[in-house]
Structure 1
């Protein structure tokens, strides 16, 4: 039997053809790499729907975290007293809005009637010093006594009382206006 049908012939028969084939292979490979690099670098690619490289987005990412949602206040400046409604919305609503721990719910005349019967001074004293489950000043030690009294009047009046809102003590009012006057008369720097 003849092995002629199993013999293979190579396309490269001389050393010159081998050198041309190797150089051609490297040339095609290098050309492919160059074209791929050129394709990748010619267009600026960003994620689909992404605006992450916009100057506004970059500025938002590198902005200090403390600037988000915090208000800085001057510890040496005059204290600005909050209204009763503002104190209620920030401090008191957690318990008095839901009736948690036996707190009289806001606007519930039945729950407030027993407390109103005790009188204004007693209710304010309990709110400032704390009573049973309620901490002193509703758990906010930064509140001034006048602010707590305003919040008590706001809640009690919505529960059926007819309390008059407390006045700011004369000493506190004088110091607040005195502190504000020099600041207003100073020229801007």
Structure 2
């Protein structure tokens, strides 16, 4: 038998085997419970007059500086990614602090060089950004 014939024979056997396995797996998922789970509704519609569904609690008040830092700032300022000064590295922060806190705040809020505006925390208030800066400078 030629090499091409052997290849085609092996390919056909592989295809039949693969289809058999797929069929077996598919058949295992045909139980009533599996079907019910697959066709179950993923949501519901609120109709006037029905009891309203409770909504998720929305945090009230500003987030603490450490919470903002840990969520949005730490990724770059703990590793030095994109040229970010590392938190706790006094030498890296010295020239930035020398420009004044207003400049630090402006760069953090508006973005500067590799620093994205608000450090990608687009729902942070300016006060939360200032709190994150204060936290970072305290490290």
Which TM-score tier does this pair reach, normalised by the shorter chain? 0.5 to 0.7
Q: Is the 8 A contact 1:116 1:156 kept in 2?
A: no
Looking at structure 2, the residues matched to 122 and 79 of structure 1 have their Cα atoms a distance apart, in angstroms, of 29
Q: Does 1:72 align with 2:56?
A: yes
Matched, 1:108 2:89: yes
Distance 1:117 1:80 in 2: 31
Residue in structure 2 matched with residue 146 of structure 1 by the alignment:
127
Match of 2:99 in 1: 118
CA RMSD of aligned residues (A): 2.6
Normalising by structure 1, what TM-score? 0.43
CA–CA distance in structure 2, aligned partners of residues 79 and 102 of structure 1: 34
SS of residue paired to 1:147:
helix
Within 5 Å, give how 1:36-51 maps onto structure 2: none
Aligned residue pairs, count: 90
Q: Give unpaired runs (5+ residues) of structure 1.
A: 1-61, 65-70, 159-189
Structure 1 runs of 4+ aligned residues shifted over 2 Å read 71-74
Q: Which runs of 5+ in 2 are unaligned?
A: 1-39, 43-54
Task: Tell me, in whole angstroms, the C-alpha distance in 2 between the residues paired with 1:126 and 1:72.
Answer: 34
Q: Deviations over 1:136-183 (max 9, x none)?
A: 10011100000001111111232xxxxxxxxxxxxxxxxxxxxxxxxx
Which residue number in structure 2 is paired with residue 95 of structure 1? 76
TM-score by length of 2: 0.58
Residue 49 of structure 1: aligned partner: none
Provide the C-alpha distance between the structure 2 equivalents of 1:157 and 1:117, rounded to a whole number of angstroms: 16
